[in-house]
Amino acid sequence: MGDLRNAERKWDFMLDHDQKIGYIRLTQFGNRAVDEMKAALEQLKQRGARALVLDLRGNPGGQLTAAVEISNLFLAAGRIVSVEGRNRPQEIYDAKPETLITLGSADYPIAVLIDSGSASASEIVAAALQDAKRAVMVGERTFGKGSVQNLIQLEGGNSAVKVTTAKYIRPSGKNIHRFPMKSKETDDWGVRPDIEVKLTPRQEVEQFLARRDRDIVRVEPSAEERAESASSPRSPNPLPRTGRRRQSSSPRSRSAAALPFSRLLPFSRASPAERSRAKRRRGGSTSPSPPS
């Protein structure tokens, strides 16, 4: 996906038309991720893009093969990732030059946006590009999900158990996975940004609302549809209209802007004062309760 849509309501992958900077947002590594990424890069190539912003924020991951193939679109050689586990041979994935897609030049600038929601396959791509010094990481440290898990069916499929069988290793040899009870902030896990940019809770909400407004496709009724609606007989007790509205000129929608800020945040992220004010508005107790 891109940042904005064009007049045909399709994603426009050119972020800056003057500087020829492309922007591609990948939300998951599913079955169509590789083909969609190739199509977006080819479109940018045809339009003369000279740089790229790859947005992996909030991407929880997906298929290992998709992560390897997408990494290979930016790398001509070198290690992408290796998989190590007990009772299984080591799996090594290296880049191949025939799948490389270049924009302007082979070493065109790439910035990768990451945050604490970037996990698993997202971290494989980010780590491969960072270790190869192919891209600059911008944002926050990633989640640290570098384990390979298999689902084993039990009781004829009525239950199952998820077992960790292997782990992902970066090209540098460093570990990706963060062990909740053992790993420390000073340990090597996940992907650290080269340029750290942290958002405040309020900025996270504003960014979410702006992103939501851009993602929604709003279709205005045609002149014929408006005329037909105006001429059709109305019920004596019409139901409230729930039609789509036009996209607001402000990135923050009016309906969301009217909500108390604390209700837009996860309960545990709101401050005690914000929780107290929110409860008073709802007529509840003013004593803060622990997050669920």
Active site residues: 120, 131, 145
Residue 56 CA to chain centroid, in angstroms? 5
Contact 54, 111 (CB under 8 A): yes
The H or E element containing residue 16 is strand 14-16
Of 125, 137, 121, 118, whose CA–CA distance to 95 is shortest?
A: 125
**β-strand pairing of 159-169 with 147-154:** antiparallel
Residue 20 CA to chain centroid, in angstroms? 23
Residue 24 has φ and ψ, to the nearest 5°, of -130, 130
d(CA 220, CA 73): 38
Residue 135 CA to chain centroid, in angstroms? 17
Q: Which residues contact 124 (CB under 8 A, 6 or more apart)?
A: 64, 67, 68, 71, 80, 81, 168, 176
Q: Which residues contact 85 (CB under 8 A, 6 or more apart)?
A: 148, 165, 166, 167
d(CA 193, CA 77): 23
Name the residue type at position 165: T
Q: Please tell me whether residue 160 adopts helix, strand or coil conformation.
A: strand
Q: Please tell me whether residue 276 adopts helix, strand or coil conformation.
A: helix
Name the residue type at position 36: E
